[in-house]
Structure 1
Amino acid sequence: MSFSMTGYGQSSLQFGGYKITFEVKSVNNRYCEVVLRMPRDWTIYEDMLRRQVQAHIKRGRVDVIINREHTEEAELAQVLNRSAVRSYLKSAEQLQEEFGIQGELLLRDILSMPGVMEFKEDTHVSVLDQDFKDILEQGLNQSLEALLEMRAREGGFLAADLGRRLNHLKELHAEMAALAPVVVNEYREKLRQRLSMLSDGTFPFEEHKFGMEIAVFADRCNIDEELTRLYSHFEQCKALLKGSEPAGRKLDFLIQEMNRETNTIGSKCNHLTLVNLTLDMKAELEKIREQAANLE
């Protein structure tokens, strides 16, 4: 199965008074690059989470974003920190006495100050808790499943499009193969006509030399080897698209080889139709290269 390098997955779980959200995004990259963003006190699990991503994804830049927020139940479980309230009130009195600042603290002002309302101890997540580690693995795995599903779906569309384009290349290849023998025959007839027009009886026509010239031309413009290698590359590309391993890098190599063979055919052929066919093949190969660049 072919996978695209572009995808998105999201999931969320609740644990210890927190709602923990997992967001995974992937885009094209030559290698597998994993970028993690999470609360600072959770970074002890960074290597574990990175390895978890790399176990599923072979190529692409993967951004993993893990956020946390208190659940509604945790919000309701907050308790008043009386020490913090006393400290704020005392500081307000000192400001009035020392600087002559007038005004008074309202209830809503006090409640909005940092540290006045605190969460109970049992609502906090211990980062060393095995259950917490399992939650991180589970949440990331759910996001990765959604990501891989999208990558597989898009990869299927890419593979189908590449298959159609490879079939078009095979059609162009068949036209080249049918036309290749005709090139020598046409050259033979044109050369014979040209010599007949130039002949004024002052020099003899030597069939042996004429045959040697045709043989040299036939050897110079022979494209059988290039056509054979091209067809082999087509079949390898199709096999890669149907396989289970990541095909992006191998496809990139094969496309370069197909371009090289096509350029060789274009330089060897001495026929307008063949030249046009090579141009069509190069244009199609460029489209294939652009599409294959999105595959894992």
Structure 2
Amino acid sequence: MTGFSRVDGVFADGSRFTWELRSVNGRGLDLRLKLPPGLESLDAALRDRAGQQFFRGNIGAGLTVKREDRRPRLVPDPEALEQALRLVLDLSARIPGASPPTAASILALPGVLQAEVQEADPVEEAARRDVVLLAFDEALAELLAARRSEGTKLEQILRTLLDEIGTLTERAASEAARQPELVRARMEATLNGLLGDQRRIPEDRLAAEVALLAGRADVREEIDRLRAHVSAALTLLDEAKPIGRRLEFLAQEFGREANTLGAKSSSLELTHLSLELKGAVERLREQSANVE
């Protein structure tokens, strides 16, 4: 199922961050995380939280952090400064008439000034991770709400498709009741065309052959299974838990029965009904892939 959520947050130091979550259809749960440097350790905790909320779908979760523009403070390296100063003064003394070195020229030498590196405070880092996790939970809740909204609409589509399949099944059942009559009429027409008035086939032998062919064309089991599948699918829709995979399995069973119904058909009308059933079942199968 598809969905989108966005949650903005602020750290204690004033820097801001944003979670963006996107969900598309998928047979299983596939969470793809994109985390900034320094927060990779949250990977396992984030996956655990997502796994508690979702069972299917390809979910992309991206975290962006916008830090305040703070230029690092430059501090001199005492050893490098002392070494540079000695070298510059010694060189200046050796060159007659050379101007004495300025402080700016010495500080501009490579390695004399260094950016001050501030070690991370473990307490602050732990607080940042907690803030990120709480915001992720909020983003998951928003994504879940978006998917539930889509699921409500999808449920109506599925119920409409199941109603269509149920109606086609009942029409097929009515048409299938005429199968023995059609088989007999077809056999008699064939025999009359071959033998004409010279036909010498006992009535009981003809009845036995008609019964044999009608048995092969009997679709009552397929009709009963289609009815049972419709009932099972409607029951699934009433359950308050993930049903996507079971609904996909039922859609496969629907397709199998619709195919068999068409293969056994002895009338053009029943063949057309089986084709309509196949179309409705295919739409049901496509929609089932969107269900959690």
TM superposition score category, shorter chain reference: 0.7 to 0.9
Q: 2:66 aligns with which of 66, 69, 92?
A: 69
**CA offset at residue 150 of structure 1?**
0.9
- Relative contact order higher in (CA < 8 Å, ≥ 6 apart): 1
8 A Cα contact 1:126 1:132, kept in partner: no
Q: 1:48 aligns with which of 39, 45, 49?
A: 45
Task: Find the residue that maps to 1:55 and give its secondary structure.
Answer: helix
C-alpha distance 14-253 of structure 1, shift in aligned 2 (>3 A): same
Q: Distance in 1 between matches of 2:190 and 2:30?
A: 65
Worse overlay, 211-220 or 182-191: 182-191
In the other structure, the counterpart of 1:60 is: 57
> Which entry has the higher C-alpha Rg, 1 or 2?
2
**CA offset at residue 192 of structure 1?**
3.9
Taking structure 2 as the reference length, what is the TM-score of the superposition?
0.79
Amino acid at match of 1:83: V
Amino acid at match of 2:75: S
**What RMSD, in angstroms, separates the aligned Cα atoms of the two structures?**
3.0
Amino acid at match of 1:275: T
**Correspondence 1:218 to 2:214:** yes
Return structure 1 stretches of 4+ with deviation > 2 angstroms: 78-84, 118-121, 124-134, 186-205
In the other structure, the counterpart of 1:10 is: 6
Q: 1:83 aligns with which of 75, 78, 96?
A: 75
In the other structure, the counterpart of 1:33 is: 30
Task: Find the residue that maps to 1:22 and give its secondary structure.
Answer: strand
8 A Cα contact 1:24 1:63, kept in partner: yes
Residue identity over aligned pairs, in percent, reads 28
8 A Cα contact 2:155 2:237, kept in partner: yes
Worse overlay, 271-280 or 31-40: 31-40
Give ranges in structure 1 of 5+ residues lacking alignment: 95-104, 106-114
**CA offset at residue 240 of structure 1?**
1.8
Q: 1:136 aligns with which of 123, 132, 136?
A: 132
Taking structure 1 as the reference length, what is the TM-score of the superposition?
0.78
> What is the total number of aligned residue pairs between the two structures?
262
Amino acid at match of 1:220: R
Task: Find the residue that maps to 2:20 and give its secondary structure.
Answer: strand
C-alpha distance 7-202 of structure 1, shift in aligned 2 (>3 A): closer
Superposed, 1:109-148 pairs within 5 Å as 126=122, 129-148=125-144
Q: 1:270 aligns with which of 252, 255, 266?
A: 266
8 A Cα contact 2:183 2:214, kept in partner: no
8 A Cα contact 2:192 2:199, kept in partner: no
In the other structure, the counterpart of 1:22 is: 19
In the other structure, the counterpart of 1:250 is: 246
